[in-house]
C-alpha cells in the first residue's frame, strides 16, 4: 500500500516537491529525498543534536520533527548557510579556531549557534554553553567550539555596524 503524500517543503530558499510517507522524519526526507546529507543521525532520541536544522528561525532537531510538520515553514540546512566562496562567519570561525575534529557534530553545532546568535547577538559564553548543551561533541571537549562561536559573534556584530 502506497502511503506517500505529495508535500512542498521550502528548503534553503527553494520550494521542493517531495513524496513522503507520513512517518518519515524531516531528517530522513532531507537526507534521502533531497540529498542534503549535512544533517546527521547520531542517536535515536533527539539527545545528540547532530541533525539540527533551522525551521522558521528556530534550531530544531530534525529527527524529532515529521516532514509533514515542516510544510509551509522555512527550513535552513547547513548546505544553505554559506558556500566555499562565501562562508558564514560561524563556518569561518570553526575553521580558524580548530573547532572541527571528526566533523560529525559540526553542521548541527553551527546551526544551533546560528539560531542563538540571530536571536541574541550579544550572547555570552554562559549563553553559548547553555544554548548549545543539547549538541554533543565527543572529540573537542567543547573548548574551541565556544571560542569559535564567540569569535563569530564578535565578527557578526562588527559587520552589523
Partner 1 sequence: MSAKESLISSLLFIGQSIPRVDALDKVLGRARFTADLQRNFPGLLHIKVLRSPHAHARIVKLDTSRAEKMDGVRAVVTGKDCPEKVHFRAPRILALEEAIWAGEGVAAVAAGSPEIAEEAIGLIQVEYEKLPAVLDAEEAMQANPPAVVDRQLGQYPGSSLITPEAPNITGHFKLRAGDVAKGFAEADIVLENRFSTSRISHSQLEPASCLARCEPDGGVTLWTNGQGVHVIKGIISDLFNLPLAKVRVINPYQGGSFGNRLRHYVEPLAILLALKTGGTVQLTFSRKEMYLAASTRLPVVTYIKTGVKRDGTIVAQQMKVIVDNGASYAAVQDGRTASSGAVPTYRIPNFFLDSYGVNTNTPWAGAYRGLGTPQVVWAIECQLDMLAERLRMDPVELRRKNVLHKGEKNAYGEEIASIGVMQCLEKVVQEIQLHEPSTQEPGPWRRGKGVAMGGKQNTPRGRSEAEVLVHEDGTIEVLYSADEQGMGSETVMAQIAAEEFRVPICQVRVKRGDTAVTPYDTFSASSFTTYNTGNALRLACQDAIRQILQAASQKLEASPDDLTLENGKIMVQGSPGMDLNKLFEPFSMFTLQGGPALKKGTPVRGWGVFAPSPAVPWDPETGLTPRMWNWYQYNACGVEVAVNTATGEIKILRGVLTADMGFPINPKMCEGQMEGGFGMAIGASVLEEYIFRDGLMINSSFGNYRIPTFREMPPRAQFKSFFAPDPLPDGPWGSKGIGEATMVTVAPAIANAVYNAVGVRLRDLPMNPERVLQHLQMAKAPASASGQPPRRRGGQ
Interface residues toward partner 1, by CB under 8 A: 23, 31-32, 35-45, 47-48, 50, 77-79, 82-84, 87, 90-91, 94-96, 98, 100-107, 110, 125-126, 128-130, 132-134, 136-147
Q: Which is nearer to partner 1, 65 or 77 (CB)?
A: 77
Bridge-partner residues for 8, per DSSP? 17
Burial of 134 (0-12, 13-18, 19+ CB in 10 A): middle
Q: Report in angstroms how near the CB of residue 20 gets to partner 1 at its nearest.
A: 13
Q: Which is nearer to partner 1, 74 or 101 (CB)?
A: 101
User: 112 near 59, Cβ under 8 Å?
Assistant: yes
Q: Report in angstroms how near the CB of residue 139 gets to partner 1 at its nearest.
A: 5
Q: Report in angstroms how near the CB of residue 3 gets to partner 1 at its nearest.
A: 11
- Phi and psi at residue 106, to the nearest 5°: -60, -50
Bridge-partner residues for 18, per DSSP? 7
Q: Which is nearer to partner 1, 22 or 57 (CB)?
A: 22
Taking the C-alpha atoms of residue 110 and residue 73, their distance in angstroms, rounded to an integer, is 20
Amino acid at each position: 500500500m502506497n502511503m506517500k503524500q505529495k508535500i512542498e517543503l521550502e528548503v534553503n530558499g527553494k520550494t521542493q516537491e517531495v513524496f513522503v510517507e507520513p512517518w518519515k522524519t524531516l531528517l530522513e526526507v532531507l537526507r534521502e529525498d533531497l540529498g542534503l546529507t549535512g544533517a546527521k543521525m547520531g542517536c535515536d532520541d533527539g539527545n545528540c543534536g547532530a541533525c539540527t536544522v533551522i525551521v522558521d528561525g528556530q534550531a530544531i532537531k530534525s529527527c524529532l520533527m515529521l516532514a509533514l510538520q515542516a510544510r509551509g515553514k522555512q527550513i535552513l540546512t547547513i548546505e544553505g548557510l554559506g558556500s566555499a566562496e562565501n562562508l558564514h562567519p560561524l563556518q569561518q570561525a570553526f575553521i580558524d579556531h580548530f573547532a572541527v575534529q571528526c566533523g560529525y557534530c559540526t553542521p548541527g553545532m553551527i546551526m544551533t549557534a546560528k539560531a542563538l546568535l540571530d536571536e541574541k547577538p550579544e550572547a555570552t559564553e554562559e549563553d553559548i554553553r547553555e544554548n548549545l548543551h543539547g549538541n554533543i561533541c565527543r572529540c573537542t571537549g567543547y573548548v574551541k567550539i565556544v571560542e569559535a562561536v564567540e569569535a563569530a559573534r564578535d565578527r557578526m556584530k562588527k559587520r552589523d555596524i
